[in-house]
Amino acid sequence: MSPQNTSRRLSAQVLNHNVDALNGLNTITSYSTPRLEATPAALQHAYQTMLALQQVETERLALYRGAADAARLAEWDFHNAVLAMKEVVRGQFGSDSNEAQSIGLKKKSDRKRPARPKAMAGVS
C-alpha cells in the first residue's frame, strides 16, 4: 500500500461515509479490537476532535474573509484618494506641468499627435 498523502483534504463524500460507518459501528454490540486506534472510544474521540477543528477552521475562515474584505475596501479607498489627488494636481498646476509629471502623469506636450495614415497615390 502506498503512503497516504495527508496534504490533500478528504472529500465530503469520504467523510460522510466515515461518519456513517461510525454510526453503524454503534449498533454492533459485540465489537472489540486489540488495536487502540480502532476502539469505539478512540473513534469517538477522533470524530469529536475532527468536528471541533472543523469548527475552528470555519470560524477562522470567516475572520479571514472579513479581513480580506476590509483590506480590499481599504485598497479601493486608497486608490480613489490617489485618483482625487491626481485630479487636484492636474487642476491646480495644469496637465503640462512638472508637478503633474512628478506624480506619474504624462505631460500633455509629451504626447504624440496621432499621425494621419498616408493615402496611397496612383492605385490602379
Q: Which domain holds residue 75?
A: 14-108
What is the number of domains present in the chain?
Answer: 1
Residue 10 has a pLDDT of: 93
Inside any domain, residue 115:
no
The answer on pLDDT for 73 being more than 70 is yes
The answer on pLDDT for 112 being more than 80 is no
Inside any domain, residue 87:
yes
Inside any domain, residue 118:
no
Inside any domain, residue 57:
yes
Residue 123 has a pLDDT of: 57
Q: Which residues contact 30 (CB under 8 A, 6 or more apart)?
A: none
Per-residue pLDDT band at 55 (split at 50, 70, 90) = very high
Average pLDDT, the chain: 91
The length of the chain is: 124
The answer on pLDDT for 83 being more than 70 is yes
Query: pTM for this one?
Result: 0.64
Residue 62 has a pLDDT of: 97
- Dist. CA 100–CA 91, nearest whole Å: 10
CB-based contacts of 7-10 (< 8 A; 24+ apart in sequence): none
- Dist. CA 77–CA 34, nearest whole Å: 63
Q: What percent of the chain has pLDDT over 90?
A: 68
- Dist. CA 12–CA 3, nearest whole Å: 21
Q: What is the DSSP letter of 110?
A: G
Residue 124 has a pLDDT of: 55
Inside any domain, residue 123:
no
Lowest mean pLDDT among 7-11, 45-49, 115-119: 115-119
Inside any domain, residue 40:
yes
CB-CB contact of 36 with 42 (8 Å): yes
Inside any domain, residue 6:
no
108 or 92, which is more confident: 92
